[in-house]
Amino acid sequence: MVSNEELNRMRWAARRGMLELDLVLEPFVARCYAQLDADSRRAFQALMSCEDQELYAWLLGREQPSEPELRDLVERILAFTRTAPAAH
């Protein structure tokens, strides 16, 4: 179970310096973070400690993280982004 405090921390962490990242990460946190298993939540927390330019390259598919758990999570975020309905 994810505490409200942890969820709020991740919502805050997903607010980046780049609008393009915000538009991908914030909906993922809002809709998916609480359903992640503990390992995936730890991977997401590690992902949020990465630099915006790294995240941007990974989320555009230009590069991939070297760590398998981050690579899997980036793929999961991208899959969510492709299938998520547009926010109103």
Which tens digits make up the pLDDT trace of 13-63? 999 989 999 999 999 999 999 999 999 999 999 999 999 999 999 999 999
CB 29 within 8 A of CB 37: no
- Choose which CATH entry (1.10.150.250, 3.50.50.60, 2.60.40.10, 1.10.10.60) describes domain 4-82: 1.10.150.250
pTM of the model: 0.90
Q: Inform me whether the pLDDT recorded for 87 exceeds 80.
A: no
What is the 8-class DSSP label of residue 62?
Answer: S
How sure is the predictor about 4, in pLDDT bands with cuts at 50, 70 and 90?
very high
